[in-house]
A and B are shown apart, each in its own frame.
Chain A
Amino acid sequence: GQQLNQSPQSMFIQEGEDVSMNCTSSSIFNTWLWYKQDPGEGPVLLIALYKAGELTSNGRLTAQFGITRKDSFLNISASIPSDVGIYFCAGHLEYGNKLVFGAGTILRVKS
Chain B
Amino acid sequence: ETGVTQTPRHLVMGMTNKKSLKCEQHLGHNAMYWYKQSAKKPLELMFVYSLEERVENNSVPSRFSPECPNSSHLFLHLHTLQPEDSALYLCASSQGLAGITDTQYFGPGTRLTVL
Q: Are A and B genuine complex partners? A: yes
Chain A residues with a Cβ under 8 A of chain B = 3-4, 9, 30-31, 33, 35, 40-45, 48, 50, 88, 92, 97, 99-104
The binding surface of chain A is classed by DSSP as: strand
Chain B residues contacting A92 (CB-CB under 8 Å) are 100
A-B contact count (CB 8 A): 53
Give B residues with C-beta under 8 Å from A. Answer: 2, 4, 6, 9, 40-43, 45, 90-92, 97-98, 100-101, 103-109, 111
Please state if A42 and B42 are interface contacts (CB–CB under 8 Å): no
Q: Do A104 and B100 touch (CB < 8 A)?
A: no
Most A Cβ at <10 Å: residue of B4, B41, B42: B42
CB of A41 within 8 A of CB of B108, answer yes
Cβ of A42 and Cβ of B100 under 8 Å apart?
no
Q: Cα distance A45–B103 when bound, in Å?
A: 8
Which of B90, B91, B111 gathers the greatest number of chain A CB atoms within 10 Å? B90
Q: Do A42 and B90 form a contact, CB below 8 Å, given A4-B42, A102-B42?
A: yes
